[in-house]
Amino acid sequence: MQHSLNGWDIGRFDTIDWIPWDTGDKARAKVLGIADGFHVALIEAGADYRGGAHEHDFPEFLYVVDGALHTQGQELTAGDAYAASRGSTHTDFAVDSGATYLLIFRL
Per-position pLDDT tens, the chain of length 107? 999 999 999 999 999 999 999 878 999 999 999 999 999 999 999 999 999 899 999 999 999 999 999 999 999 999 999 999 999 999 999 999 999 999 999 98
Residue 82 domain flag: yes
Please give the tally of structural domains in the chain: 1
Residue 27 domain flag: yes
Residue 81 domain flag: yes
Longest dimension (CA), the chain: 50
pTM for this model (two decimals): 0.94
As a whole number of angstroms, the distance between CA 39 and CA 32 comes to 8
Q: In terms of Cα–Cα distance, which of 94, 48, 49 is closest to 69?
A: 94
The domain that holds 78 is classified in CATH as 2.60.120.10
Q: 59 lies in which domain range?
A: 16-106
